Amino acid sequence: MHRALVAVALAGCAPHTPWGRAVLAPAASAERVIEVDVTPDGFEPKHFLVQSGESLTFLVTRRVEHTCVTSVVLSLDVDSRIERELPLDEPVPITVRFEAPGELGMSCPMNMYGATIQIR
Ligand SMILES: [Cu+2]
């Protein structure tokens, strides 16, 4: 619990160590879709609250031409992550199932812009 509070306090700024666990899942298994835009301010929204055990699809759309967020990196656990290219104005679906509470994140490849995924 203490660790969760610290992670939330740091969200949106310094790179943090991901914890918890997600796995890639079939698109058809998604129970909901969360739309994520890449704007001049980075990811919108910057915070997601999800439940351990649920499957969902992040539909990520890059809305700005000039940005370093030309691909999205999604952490799946402490030492694995996936990366997907983000063509301009083209929604990119990423379906995952959350398997353990914690806090994962999405970011640009250089970890300058990020968003946090809190798994309860
Ligand atoms: Cu960047």
Q: What is the pLDDT of residue 10?
A: 44
Binned at pLDDT 50, 70 and 90, residue 99 comes out as very high
- Cα(69) to centroid(ligand 1), Å: 6
- Cα(72) to centroid(ligand 1), Å: 10
Q: What is the pTM of this model?
A: 0.86
User: How many residues appear in the chain?
Assistant: 120
- Cα(28) to centroid(ligand 1), Å: 31
- Cα(15) to centroid(ligand 1), Å: 12
- Cα(71) to centroid(ligand 1), Å: 9
- Cα(93) to centroid(ligand 1), Å: 20
Q: Catalogue all structural domains in the chain, each as residue range(s) with its CATH number.
A: 2-119 (2.60.40.420)
- Cα(18) to centroid(ligand 1), Å: 18
Q: Which tokens sit at 4?
A: 């969760």
Q: What is the pLDDT of residue 71?
A: 98
